[in-house]
Amino acid sequence: MTILIKKARILTIDDNETEHQRADILVEGSKIAAVGNELSMPEDGRELRVIEAEGLLAMPGLINGHLHSPGNFMKGALENFPLEIFMLYEVPPLSENPLSSRLLYIGTVLGAIEMLKLGITSVHDDAYFVPVPSQERIDSLLQAYVDSGIRAAVTLDQPNVVEFEKYPFLSELLPESVKHDMELADIMPSGELLAVYQDYIDRWHGKCDGRISASVSCSAPQRVEVDYFGGLSELSRKYDIPFQIHILETKLQRVLGIEKYKKSLVHYVNDLGFLDERVVVVHAIWVDDSDMEVMRESGCSVAHNPVCNLKLGSGVMPFRRLRDHGIPVCLGTDEANADDTLNLWTAAKVAGLIHNITDPDFRNWPNATEILHALTRGGARSIRQKDRIGQIAPGYDADLILVDLNSLAFTPLNDLQRQLVYCENGSSVVLTMVRGSVVVENGHVCTVDEEAIKAEARELAGEFHQQMTEIRRWASQLEPYYRSMYFRTANQDVGINRWVGPCS
């Protein structure tokens, strides 16, 4: 189909920061063919559509740089816990009862619907499977993205070491009986996991003309065997696909590096030869200047999840220091149980504000242009598609949104970019387009039956709540030991502080 969007205000986010007060966008098939004034429709017999866009803003679709879709059913389900306690509920180490394929499918579609209606056209999903992945469950999750119409790069986030080896001091705190249970937990050997990954890439990478792509993940360096870590790095290089790695999300992880590896986890990954331009370092809160220099030299990027970082009390990422080192940044929501929404507009606003209380020199505070770049071009770079999406320009895929400038967020319109970051919450998005296909229009999802999906989600909630009951039982037994570990590391001097206040 050929689509002509007429008389829109256009924020291109291109190399020259071009803005058009009133112009047209010609979309031919999946691509943007032209941007300019008084464009005409080609007369070649193709199906044509004209979208009158006067009073609307056209801009690139947002890119959610980090998500865990298996948590989509857990909105509002958990207290505000530090990560190490939170994970007892998120990825329970002793659970043997996996989410069903259907629940994974419905939860993933729910998340995609939420994102598309908010103008999020792409997502980097770090999908975990507890206790281990299966082809059926992987296929259900990926099919959800196919059906929804969103662009998705998806990993298989699968640790493969014994639970207590991932943490400092935990082995000495746990009773022997609990450690024995953890040693018996279902863990896939490295070779089997790499075979699962290869099969996954063979079957799914590049599906839907590239709208669905594979990515790799080791979860975090301390959570995997080195041979598996190296195998994933090789897959990333072989297929030129992103490699998501959670590194130094918490102070506890800083302590772990000191205690177990005698170095920062950033240096540990770099010394192994696995830190390169395909790596997306997720969170990067407790990094120091030495880490940032290594990251700069590697060419990696960072996925910043400011709302999640606040909910879990992980700390405030050193945004300006990372940017001054030349490290690209994208924005993510993280999972629905760590943000409680998938609203990337909220993450953008928090990113634009939280760093203001870390530095009295206001010249170092983030500005709206930087945040918009992180929402779009930063995300495109992180999923290895910077020459394909993230801006409105001829030759790029038509992943774009239309925003109503007559909404309260833009009335009166004083500064477009600042109001996008600080005033908009997603409610002004009236159309979402992915690869030239309109997937949301006037609040209506065009790809799936939203009401039927929500109805089935309510039916499946019983299955989910039953599993949560089992998870809470295990977590309540383990939590005292994890709490002791957490406070022991919280009070350890690591030479930097990423909390707004002092450790009490």
pLDDT digits (tens, 9 = 90+) for 165-202: 999 999 999 999 999 999 999 999 999 999 999 999 99
Average pLDDT of the segment spanning 241-251? 98
SS3 479: helix
19-23, 228-232, 497-501, range with the lowest pLDDT: 497-501
Q: Identify the residue whose tokens are 């070649």.
A: 44
Average pLDDT of the segment spanning 297-307? 98
Integer Cα distance of 91 and 119 in angstroms: 29
pLDDT recorded at residue 401: 99
pLDDT recorded at residue 488: 97
Average pLDDT of the segment spanning 367-373? 98
Binning pLDDT at 50, 70 and 90, where does residue 504 land? Answer: low
The proportion of the chain whose per-residue pLDDT surpasses 70, expressed as a percent, equals 99
CATH of domain 2-60+396-445: 2.30.40.10
Of 351, 330, 322, nearest to 339 by C-alpha is 351
Average pLDDT of the segment spanning 226-255? 98
In the chain, where the domains are located = 2-60+396-445, 62-382
SS3 23: strand
What tens digit of pLDDT does each residue of 60-70 get?
Answer: 999 999 999 99
Longest C-alpha distance within the chain, in Å? 76
Average pLDDT of the segment spanning 135-147? 98
Average pLDDT of the segment spanning 385-392? 98
- Helix axis angle for 176-183 and 450-490, nearest 10°, is 140
pLDDT recorded at residue 64: 98
Task: Name the strand (E) or helix (H) holding 431.
Answer: strand 429-434
pLDDT recorded at residue 99: 87
Of 158, 101, 163, 161, nearest to 132 by C-alpha is 158
Phi, psi of 500 (to 5 degrees): -65, -35
Peptide bond into 412 cis (omega under 30): yes
Q: Residues 189-205, buried b or exposed e (16+ Cβ, 10 A)?
A: ebeebbebbeebbeebb
Mean of the per-residue pLDDT values of the chain: 96
Average pLDDT of the segment spanning 264-280? 98
| Class of 62-382 in CATH | alpha beta
pLDDT recorded at residue 298: 98
Half-sphere exposure of 270 (CA within 13 A, CB side): 19
